[in-house]
């Protein structure tokens, strides 16, 4: 296990963005990994990406893609290492070779949830950091989770909500971001999904719409400062029909075949090809979701 270090609020190298919390700033921040990354964090070059723990393939996929784009553009990605969207935000950043900070509701040397112990190690090995207000060895308690959310909101100048129910811990992070004057963005989701309740509500109330990494970068850095919006290769008619079916809500091979008017085998081949070139992603149950890769304009 990496050595635990501290950043005290009385010290000159305490992150300035945490001082925005005023009397609610942590007296001491404990961490493992890259201390300089945390001490020198520039909130204008950092984004917090959070969402539901019990997320669907849509939320996990979007969190991963947003974080990949942010990490590739040189932003520090902050999240909470929880199951679902948070873990995928760290994974996406690591896949892009970027830097990420996990904020825990327990000691920084205690991987939580336990199933994310390897992710904890990889964040540290890749030059990132794991931080917490709780001292080393401390196990999580329910009251620690809303307390850590204010730290996640304060560390970055932009906070993006991927998924969340109306009443959830993710709402607390969004509220803290608004209270601190951070830029708040939200990923729109299906109105029939309870996981879309919070982001859709935030958009209704004025949060920026985040459809892809480009929207995130435009919000955090300024429109057009960095361009990452990807455009995929041209599609033949069968692939275009299958992709259109997924975009219309068909999530399984059978549903795509029915929607697109294809036989079962051609539908399966089309979905495999679309996944290979990056237009769709499949979860372990074989359900397909659309990625943010744009199709080229029709000629």
**Lowest mean pLDDT: which of 7-16, 41-50, 138-147, 176-185?**
138-147
Would you say residue 56 has pLDDT above 90?
no
* Region(s) of the chain under CATH 3.40.50.450: 5-221
Local confidence band at 298 (pLDDT 50, 70, 90 cut-offs): low
Local confidence band at 231 (pLDDT 50, 70, 90 cut-offs): low
Local confidence band at 294 (pLDDT 50, 70, 90 cut-offs): confident
Nearest Cα to Cα of residue 152 among 43, 256, 233? 43
**Lowest mean pLDDT: which of 133-142, 224-233, 266-275?**
224-233
- Mean pLDDT confidence for 32-45: 97
Is residue 147 a contact partner of residue 176, using CB atoms and an 8 Å limit? no
Nearest Cα to Cα of residue 82 among 186, 195, 170, 180? 170
**Lowest mean pLDDT: which of 157-171, 215-229, 234-248?**
215-229
Torsion angle defined by CA atoms of residues 242, 299, 278 and 286, in that order, rounded to the nearest 10 degrees: -10
Q: What is the mean pLDDT of the chain?
A: 91
* Region(s) of the chain under CATH 1.10.10.10: 237-290
For residue range 58-78, list pLDDT tens digits in order: 899 899 989 988 998 899 999
290 against 78, higher pLDDT:
78
Would you say residue 151 has pLDDT above 70?
yes
- Mean pLDDT confidence for 252-281: 90
Class in CATH terms, 5-221: alpha beta
Nearest Cα to Cα of residue 243 among 276, 283, 194? 276
pLDDT value at position 230?
63
For residue range 173-226, list pLDDT tens digits in order: 999 999 999 999 999 998 888 999 999 999 999 999 999 888 999 998 888 677
Distance between CA 242 and CA 87 in Å, rounded? Answer: 30
Is residue 107 a contact partner of residue 134, using CB atoms and an 8 Å limit? yes
- Mean pLDDT confidence for 28-37: 97
Percentage of residues in the chain having pLDDT higher than 90: 69
Local confidence band at 166 (pLDDT 50, 70, 90 cut-offs): confident
The CATH number that domain 237-290 falls under is 1.10.10.10
């Amino acid at each position: 296990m990496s050595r635990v270090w501290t950043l005290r609020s009385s010290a000159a190298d305490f992150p300035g963005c945490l001082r925005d919390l005023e009397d609610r700033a942590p007296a001491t921040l404990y961490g493992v990994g890259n201390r300089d990354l945390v001490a020198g964090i520039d909130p204008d070059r950092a984004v917090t990406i959070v969402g539901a723990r019990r997320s669907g393939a849509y939320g996990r996929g979007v969190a991963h893609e947003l974080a990949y784009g942010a990490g590739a553009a040189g932003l520090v990605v902050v999240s909470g290492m929880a199951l679902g969207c948070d873990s995928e935000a760290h994974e996406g950043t690591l896949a892009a070779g970027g830097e990420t900070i996990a904020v825990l509701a327990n000691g920084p040397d205690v991987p939580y949830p336990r199933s994310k112990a390897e992710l904890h190690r990889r964040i540290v090995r890749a030059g990132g950091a794991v931080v917490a207000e709780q001292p080393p060895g401390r196990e999580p308690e329910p009251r620690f989770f809303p307390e850590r959310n204010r730290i996640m909101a304060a560390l970055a100048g932009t906070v993006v909500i991927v998924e969340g129910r109306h009443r959830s811990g993710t709402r607390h992070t969004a509220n803290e971001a608004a209270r601190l004057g951070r830029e708040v963005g939200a990923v729109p989701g299906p109105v029939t999904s309870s996981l879309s309740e919070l982001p859709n509500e935030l958009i209704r109330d004025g949060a920026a719409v985040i459809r892809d990494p480009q929207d995130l970068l435009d919000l955090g850095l300024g429109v057009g400062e960095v361009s990452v919006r990807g455009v995929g290769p041209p599609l033949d008619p069968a692939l275009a029909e299958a992709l259109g079916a997924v975009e219309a809500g068909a999530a399984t091979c059978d549903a795509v075949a029915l929607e697109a008017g294809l036989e079962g085998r051609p539908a399966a081949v089309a979905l495999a090809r679309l996944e290979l070139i990056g237009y769709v992603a499949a979860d372990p149950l074989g359900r397909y979701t659309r990625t943010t890769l744009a199709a080229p304009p029709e000629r």
